[in-house]
Amino acid sequence: MSGLIDQFGRTATDLRMSLIDKCNLRCRYCMPAEGLDWLKKDDMLTADEVIRLADIAISRLGIESIRFTGGEPMVRADLVDILAGVHAAHPQVELSMTTNGINLERKIDALVEAGLARINVSLDTVCPETFAKITRRDRLTKVLSGLHAAKAAGLEPIKINAVLLRGINDQQAAELLTWSLEHDYQLRFIEQMPLDADHNWTRDNMVTAAEIRDQIAQVYTLTEHETPRGSAPAELFDVQDKETQETLGQVGIIASVTEPFCAACSRTRITADAKVRSCLFSHTETDLMGLLRDGSSDEDIANAWREAMWHKPKAHGQTQVGLGMPGFVQPERTMSAIGG
């Protein structure tokens, strides 16, 4: 019984499952202001189907950790049932979630009780006006209270995902880091990728990892963290006080565009409508919904998944063409519809 190996020798052990394409924010780098044509309920995985796919992934395909994402996973009313179902069958597998944090305060205790072990909350700024500009919603206080509640619930570490946008929050890297260190959240900057609905991304205009490091280095000393990176997308740095050299915490930088880590990628993705995507930037998908609903066996589904992953491209969805370079074609789905 083999796992999810590809023809370039990588093995996927980390599953990202999108539970829904809808979201209650409209981040500029992800969604258009008016939203998208949402999936119909019947076309989305039910809670039982999510639990079955997770079981197949763990029992037959060697998946070791699952991250639930979206769209906004907390928009799904049955999120607690999904977590509880997967956790009951496989308590050894770490379940995590990437969320925008809205309504987290209200839901966190039930989520943790159901088996949620780790959380990433997306927060690009602590300035209310900038938050409203990026997300097109005035809801910063809801995110902050969600983060606070996650800490009170004992989740550790709590990671923050931040994207910097030229002309909006591109000067706020050090400020956001200072705030994260003070509140004991582990900040990770993610380079903006061409996965926005508006197709506004350009390689020339994005904020690069090098630029983020330079900005932070004006305020703190950054040194490479000693733990080997492995297949983790974030390059981790220790953050030190410039005068005392005291280590204040860490910061991660995910340089998906300028310093891609495709060779070490260990991820497989399932969209909310049950398509396997072997890469964020894939132009092909493999449907599992038909098999889930036509009486196919778990092994049939596992085989289709294996086959999809065998064809995982070497790099960035289209064999070696760098993001935004001549020949690069942005995938049709936005980040929200893939599951980041």
Contact flag: residue 271 with ligand SF4 (CB under 6 A): no
Nearer to ligand SAM, 96 or 122 (CB): 122
Q: Is 72 in the site for ligand SF4 (CB under 6 A)?
A: yes
Query: Which residues of the shown chain bind ligand SAM in the complex (CB under 6 A)?
Result: 23, 29-30, 69-70, 72, 98-100, 122, 161, 163, 190, 192-193, 195-196, 335-336, 340
* CB 240, min distance to ligand SAM, A: 26
Residues 6+ apart with CB under 8 A from 113: none
336 touches ligand SF4 by CB under 6 A: yes
Q: What is the CB neighbour count within 10 angstroms for residue 141? A: 10
State which residue, 68 or 237, has the beta carbon closest to ligand SF4: 68
By CB under 6 A, residue 122 contacts ligand SF4? yes
Q: Is 200:165 a contact under the CB 8 Å cutoff? A: no
Strand 275-277 relative to strand 286-287, pairing: antiparallel
Tell me whether residue 37 is exposed, middle or buried, using C-beta atoms within 10 angstroms of its C-beta: 0 to 12, 13 to 18, 19 or more.
Answer: exposed
* Residue in the block written with tokens 């800490």: 151
Work out which of 100, 169, 266, 282 binds ligand SF4, going by CB under 6 A.
100
| Residue 48, token pair as written in the block | 């039982």
The interface partner of residue 196, options being ligand SF4, ligand SAM, none and the CB cut-off 5 to 8 Å by kind, is: ligand SAM
Total residues binding ligand SF4 (CB under 6 A): 13
Residue 23 sits in the site that holds ligand SF4 (CB under 6 A)? yes
- Could you tell me the smallest distance in angstroms from the CB atom of residue 165 to ligand SAM? 10
Site for ligand SF4 in 151-210 (CB under 6 A): none
* Window 30 to 49, contacts with ligand SF4 (CB under 6 A): 30-31
Handedness of CA 63, 76, 155, 160 (dihedral sign): positive
224 — alpha (psi -120 to 50), left (phi > 0) or beta?
Answer: beta
Where does the chain show beta strands of DSSP type E? 4-5, 11-12, 14-18, 65-69, 94-99, 116-122, 158-162, 186-190, 220-224, 235-241, 247-254, 267-270, 275-277, 286-287
What residues line the site for ligand SF4 (CB under 6 A)? 23, 25-27, 30-31, 70-72, 100, 122, 335-336
